[in-house]
Amino acid sequence: MRTLISGGIVINSSGPFAADVLIEGETIAALAAPGSSETISWRANADRVLDATGLYVIPGAIDGHTHMEMPFGGTHSVDTFETGTRAAAFGGTTTIIDFAIQSKGQSLREGLDAWHAKADGHCAIDYGFHMIVSDVTESSLKEMDLVVDEGVTSFKLFMAYPGVFYSTDGQILQAMQQASRSGATIMMHAENGIAIDVLVAQALARGEGDPKFHGMTRPSLLEGEATHRAIQLARVAGAPLYIVHLSAAEALDEVVAARDRGQNVFAETCPQYLFLSDADLAREGFEGAKFVCSPPLRSERTHADLWRGLRTDDLSVVSTDHCPFCFKEQKELGLGDFSKIPNGIPGVEHRVDLIFQGVDQGEISLARWVEVTSTTPARLFGLFPKKGVIAPGADADVVLYDPSASQIFSVATHHMNVDYSAYEGMAITGQVATVLSRGTVVIEGGQYVGRAGSGQFLRRGLNGYLR
């Protein structure tokens, strides 16, 4: 199958340029200037021509942080790998990296097998796994290297959630030492969970059970403190560190200081920290439960800090931390007690569009839009140059994006398997027009035309910034 994408503006992390793109089978075969002799002959021999006039042609986006079918607080996030990857495709994401979980008392092997059983044969787009290590023991430390050999090259540890995912500083240090030997990357949920649990108990004892107290008991200072500690532990171990879902200016300051001294510290933020705020968490009645995630939404003033971080590359990536729980029956588990509200916000479908608003509003360039949503996650998570770039030899994961379209986000029109939208009624400039996953059109004319199970498991390499 030969597909020609004609007349568009290709945008890589190096910037925009006019080019036609030839796809052969699952791979990008060549790029050439529009109207050149090459493109004339490609057109004559193409099985299919996609007209990209007026559109951007960007590498399929990579969401390095999702939670499909994730157990949390006695329930499960509601997107399956089938529904979640389909929704991702609608929004221009052609790769997700989800978190396989080692529960306490389990081996890493058991956790990884369980995630393969959930995902394999169900995904609409390609997928990989990070591994959550919640039981750092002699045997799980040894197992980390075996997991790396299977293409799961990053491990998430938690300074939050004592009794569930939490690791002590000693355990974290040991896991980092193990990672420094194998070249794996340690990802950190950096919030001081021990101190937070004290604040939560005190708030509940005062009768403060509404959703807004979720935010008030997780102050940004305790994210900054944990981020500082994680960075120092990684420094001692000589391991690369990736801070997930960074939300606070205090945490960003720590990342800036580490990067300025040349430490291999990377950080992601998420759209919810750029577009939503503690005012949403404080909405009337129980509405705020829709916005409960950890770290919590911060003050609106933080938005400017995070956009600046993205512009200056202090923040390297935007991922979604997609973790959808329905308002009815799931978020409602925490009626009267915010600590029982399952943590997480749906968003896998909206990241490319939301970050494009940053381009539209002059916060970041077109090139940076592509870089933080595709190219950098590809490099950091060992997928580059197969993913993250429009270039000969890369997988033909390609999105045709219409920058002049407009849309309104709503639960009535989104494709995520969840009963509310965190962005209900938000007016957006730009929209995905067509999506190809390894050369096959999966989204066209607002319809899903792909197939569940066509997504392949990606055995990832090591962090490309460190070799």
Measured from the CB atom, is 2 or 340 closer to ligand URP? 340
* Spatial distance between the Cα atoms of 218 and 322, rounded to a whole number of angstroms: 20
CB-CB neighbours of 137 under 10 Å: 14
222 binds ligand URP per the rule CB under 6 A: no
Determine if 343 is a binding residue for ligand URP (CB under 6 A): yes
Question: Is 245 one of the binding residues for ligand URP (CB under 6 A)?
Answer: yes
Smallest distance, ligand URP to C-beta of residue 214, A: 10
Enclosing H/E stretch for 49: strand 48-51
Site string for Zn ion, 158-197 (x = CB under 5 A): -------------------------------x--------
For residues 166 and 448, give the distance between their C-alpha atoms in angstroms, rounded to a whole number.
39
Separation of alpha carbons 127 and 268, rounded Å: 19
By CB under 6 A, is residue 350 in contact with ligand URP?
no
Q: How far apart are CA 448 and CA 421, in angstroms?
A: 20
Q: Is 321 a residue that touches ligand URP (CB under 6 A)?
A: yes
Nearest approach, Cβ of residue 54 and ligand URP (Å): 37
Partner in contact with 343, chosen from ligand URP, Zn ion, none, beta carbon below 5 to 8 Å by kind: ligand URP
Q: What is the largest CA-CA distance in the chain?
A: 75
Interaction between residue 189 and ligand URP (CB under 6 A): yes
Is residue 323 near ligand URP by the rule CB under 6 A? yes
Q: Which of residues 409-448 bind Zn ion (CB under 5 A)?
A: none
167 lines the binding site for ligand URP (CB under 6 A): no
CB of 270 to Zn ion, least distance (A): 9
CA distances from 300 to 223, 249, 279, 294, 429 (A): 17, 11, 8, 16, 21
Shortest approach of ligand URP to residue 15 CB, angstroms?
33
Cis previous bond, 385, omega within 30: yes
Decide: is 98 part of the binding site for Zn ion (CB under 5 A): no
Q: Taking the complex as a whole, how short is the minimal distance between the CB of residue 10 and ligand URP, in angstroms?
A: 33
Per CB under 5 A, 259 contacts Zn ion: no
Decide: is 293 part of the binding site for ligand URP (CB under 6 A): yes
Helices (H), 282-344: 302-311
Amino acid at position 49, single letter: V
CA distance 76 to 110: 18
Q: Which of residues 63-82 bind Zn ion (CB under 5 A)?
A: none
Interface with ligand URP (CB under 6 A), residue from 294, 357, 417, 437: 294
Question: Considering the complex, what minimum distance in angstroms separates the CB of residue 127 from ligand URP?
Answer: 17
Per residue in 307-334, is it b (16+ CB within 10 Å) or e — as a string?
A: bebbeeebbbbbbbbbbbbbeeebbbeb
Q: Is the dihedral of CA 434, 361, 274, 460 positive or negative?
A: positive
What is the distance between the alpha carbons of residues 74 and 72, in angstroms, rounded to a whole number? 6
**Which of Zn ion, ligand URP, none does residue 438 bind to, with CB < 5 to 8 Å depending on kind?**
none
Q: Does 344 bind ligand URP (CB under 6 A)?
A: yes
Instruction: Kindly write out the interface string for residues 317-356 of this chain, putting x where it contacts Zn ion by CB under 5 A and - elsewhere.
Output: ----x-----------------------------------
Sites for ligand URP among residues 364-423 (CB under 6 A)? none
Distance, in Å, from the CA atom of 387 to the CA atom of 28, rounded to the nearest integer, reads 11
Local structure of 15: helix, strand or coil = strand
Positions that interact with Zn ion (CB under 5 A): 189, 321
Question: Which residues contribute to the site for ligand URP (CB under 6 A)?
Answer: 67, 189, 245, 293-294, 321, 323, 343-344
